């Protein structure tokens, strides 16, 4: 890597003063010592120097990469830091999982900023691998590496002042660290009450009206555009009137999406919509650092030399990325070296047989031949409940491929237990099945398929790898092993992205119209997002917050 002392010239983008001019930047020992204006206005031939991008809310685990490998790819797109919630690995491995993420992230020149997971397990209606109580959260918040209390998904607990929930929030406030929110669809008086409990952000808004409701009560809105949940189009119009209250985030980003781009893509899309470039960069670079009090430089004298050089301010093609004055990426090449790791995991279930996947007609809710069916929505985490005619064969409910009503199951990965089962629409498979141990929030094995034989085969491929994603059709099968907590690969990030691209393409050949079938599948067990979901314990009504009877 380049020495952390050097001089650089180019068109400096001063987001603070809303000005662009030719400048010389002197970096000494990783710190910006001086910025000298050398010309009025931007040079027509110079590149643009601007603060580095920060993902304001991301679960690194969803990239299927450990933090060090995530960093190797993210810097190619001008990202210099993240606000990272280790909620996923915490649900599998508890405190040891959080510590693993922190220590692995420290091995590379990238500014990871982890939170203390607030909801482990996320609910009492599912089986997780660990739990973190208010004392555990308090201990995490005492660490310098922990910058905030992660998304408070238990908004009913906030509204009803649950003792454990309130203790966690109080610990964050006492430590002087912000509390992230997670309250999809919460409006009016309840939203006000939730915010007044001291919760400062939300990345779950899926309409502008909901976001405005929360903005009016002082909450900051994170515009999310991940591999599955995509809210950019619905919310980006808020940026012009609320530039200091908006941030960009990915939340969950699969490896193929990460290799294609990161926060730079949202900047380019916002500019294409005619947004003010300084408002865009404030959301992408400045606001996360200020809100979370991050140790990331913002292109000022005395700041850490964390900045990027872009070809232009339209497409945001990144020429160079600097972190603490070190050149970590240039023209599509990363200079961050791989880090050797020792995987941690919890995966104790046995392989399943087809008999365990059968659904007897008297075991599943029905009324006059109609059964509850989950409707997956492309680009959204929410689902709908449909009550549709079921297909009955020999006293069992089975997939109805012609009507796109497929069987979905969740297998407890922590110990042997009865398999939970339901039906789902919009996966569109005509053959085969897919399975994944990336299944928010407890990360049991979730699978969807056209028949029990295909389902069992896909599930058992994942079990043999102690975690992964798999796909089977009539003639072949693929599996991408994820031995780190059943969530992440221990391998090279670029190779993982290629392998995921291959298995994702195979899943789409089964007939799925979904843009990201594995990412969509991973949220079908997420009980804290309405309306109908499936945990390892059964079919769950996210509106009533109880199992379907």
Per-residue pLDDT tens for 266-282? 999 999 999 999 999 99
- The neighbour count for residue 41, using CB atoms within 10 Å, is 10
**Mean pLDDT calculated for residue range 243-252:** 97
405-411 vs 420-425, strand pairing mode? antiparallel
pLDDT digits (tens, 9 = 90+) for 474-502: 999 999 999 999 999 999 999 999 999 99
- Beta strands, E only, 463-525: 468-472, 477-481
Question: Taking a C-beta distance cutoff of 8 angstroms, is the pair 266, 508 a contact?
Answer: no
| Longest CA span, the chain | 82
Q: Average pLDDT over the chain, rounded to whole?
A: 96
Tokens, residue 346? 């919890």
Question: CA separation (Å) from 471 to 221, 452, 529?
Answer: 36, 14, 26
**Mean pLDDT calculated for residue range 85-96:** 97
Tokens, residue 100? 């693993």
Domain boundaries, the chain: 48-334, 354-547
- Angle CA 460–466–469, to nearest 5: 65
Q: What is the pLDDT, as a whole number, of residue 379?
A: 82
> What is the DSSP secondary structure assignment for residue 251, as one 8-state letter?
B
48-334: in CATH 3.20.20.140: yes
Q: What is the pLDDT, as a whole number, of residue 44?
A: 67
Residue 229, helix vs strand vs coil: coil
3-state secondary structure 528-540: CCCCEEEECCEEE
**Residue predicted with more confidence, 379 or 99:** 99
- Angle CA 184–530–456, to nearest 5: 130
In the predicted model, is pLDDT for residue 423 greater than 60?
A: yes
**Mean pLDDT calculated for residue range 18-38:** 96
pLDDT digits (tens, 9 = 90+) for 370-393: 999 999 999 888 999 999 999 999
Buried b (16+ CB within 10 A) or exposed e, 438-451: bbbbbbbbbbbbbb
In the predicted model, is pLDDT for residue 3 greater than 70?
A: no
Q: What is the pLDDT, as a whole number, of residue 229?
A: 83
In the predicted model, is pLDDT for residue 303 greater than 70?
A: yes
Question: Taking a C-beta distance cutoff of 8 angstroms, is the pair 218, 510 a contact?
Answer: no
> Dihedral, CA atoms, 517, 316, 16, 113, nearest 10 degrees?
40
- Percent of the chain past pLDDT 70, that is, above it, reads 99
Q: What is the pLDDT, as a whole number, of residue 70?
A: 98
Q: Among 39-43, 64-68, 306-310, which stretch is predicted with the lowest mean pLDDT? A: 39-43
- Among residues 49, 4, 59, 51, the alpha carbon closest in space to that of 22 is found at 49
405-411 vs 445-449, strand pairing mode? antiparallel
In the predicted model, is pLDDT for residue 65 greater than 70?
A: yes
391-393 vs 396-398, strand pairing mode? antiparallel
pLDDT tier for residue 2 given thresholds of 50, 70 and 90: low
How many whole angstroms from its chain centre is CA 171? 25
**H or E stretch covering 69:** helix 67-74
**Mean pLDDT calculated for residue range 93-117:** 98
pLDDT digits (tens, 9 = 90+) for 319-367: 999 999 999 999 999 999 999 999 999 999 999 999 999 999 999 999 9
Q: What is the pLDDT, as a whole number, of residue 4?
A: 77
């Amino acid at each position: 890597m380049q020495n952390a002392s050097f001089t650089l010239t180019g068109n400096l983008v001063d987001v603070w003063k809303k000005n662009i001019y030719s400048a010389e930047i002197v970096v000494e020992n990783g710190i910006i010592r001086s910025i000298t204006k050398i010309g009025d206005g931007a040079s027509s031939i110079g590149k643009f120097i601007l603060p580095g991008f920060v993902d304001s809310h991301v679960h690194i685990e969803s990239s299927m990469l450990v933090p060090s490998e995530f960093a190797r790819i993210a810097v190619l797109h001008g990202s210099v830091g993240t606000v990272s919630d280790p909620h996923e690995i915490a649900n599998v491995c508890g405190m040891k999982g959080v510590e693993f993420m922190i220590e692995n992230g420290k091995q590379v020149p990238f500014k990871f900023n982890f939170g203390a997971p607030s909801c482990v397990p996320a609910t009492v209606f599912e089986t997780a691998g660990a739990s973190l109580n208010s004392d555990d959260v308090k201990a995490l918040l005492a660490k310098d590496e922990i910058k905030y209390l992660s998304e408070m998904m238990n908004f009913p607990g906030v509204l009803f002042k649950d003792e454990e929930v309130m203790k966690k929030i109080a610990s964050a406030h006492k430590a002087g660290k912000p509390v992230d929110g997670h309250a999809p669809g919460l409006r009016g008086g309840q939203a006000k009450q939730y915010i007044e409990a001291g919760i400062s952000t939300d990345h779950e808004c899926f309409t502008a009206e909901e976001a405005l409701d929360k903005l009016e009560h002082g909450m900051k809105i994170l515009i999310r555009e991940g591999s599955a949940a995509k809210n950019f189009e619905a919310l980006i119009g808020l940026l012009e009137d609320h530039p200091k209250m908006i941030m960009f985030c990915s939340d969950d980003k699969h490896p193929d999406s990460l290799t294609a781009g990161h926060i730079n893509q949202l900047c380019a899309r916002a500019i294409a919509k005619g947004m003010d470039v300084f408002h865009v960069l404030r959301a992408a670079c400045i606001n996360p650092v200020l809100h979370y009090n991050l140790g990331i430089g913002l292109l000022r004298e005395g700041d850490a030399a964390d900045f990027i050089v872009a070809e232009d301010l339209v497409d945001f093609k990144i020429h160079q990325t600097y972190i603490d004055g070190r050149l970590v990426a240039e023209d599509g090449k990363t200079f961050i070296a791989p880090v050797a790791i020792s995987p941690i995991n919890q995966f104790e279930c046995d392989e399943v047989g087809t008999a365990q996947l059968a659904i007897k007609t008297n075991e599943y809710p029905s009324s006059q031949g109609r059964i509850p069916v989950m409707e997956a929505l492309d680009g959204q985490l929410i689902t709908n409940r449909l009550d549709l005619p079921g297909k009955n064969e020999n006293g069992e409910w089975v997939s109805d491929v012609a009507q796109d009503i497929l069987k979905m199951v969740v297998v407890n990965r922590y110990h042997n237990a009865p398999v939970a089962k339901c039906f789902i629409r919009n996966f569109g498979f005509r053959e085969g099945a897919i399975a994944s141990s990336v299944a928010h929030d407890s990360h049991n094995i979730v699978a969807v398929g056209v028949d029990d034989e295909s389902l069992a085969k896909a599930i058992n491929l994942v079990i043999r790898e102690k975690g992964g994603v798999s796909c089977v059709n009539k003639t072949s099968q693929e599996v991408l092993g994820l031995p780190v907590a059943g969530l992440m690969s221990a391998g090279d990030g670029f190779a993982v992205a290629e392998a995921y691209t291959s298995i994702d393409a195979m899943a789409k050949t089964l007939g799925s119209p979904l843009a990201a079938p594995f990412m969509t599948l991973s949220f079908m067990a997420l009980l804290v997002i309405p309306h109908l979901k499936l945990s390892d314990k059964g079919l769950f009504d996210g509106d009533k917050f109880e199992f379907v009877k």
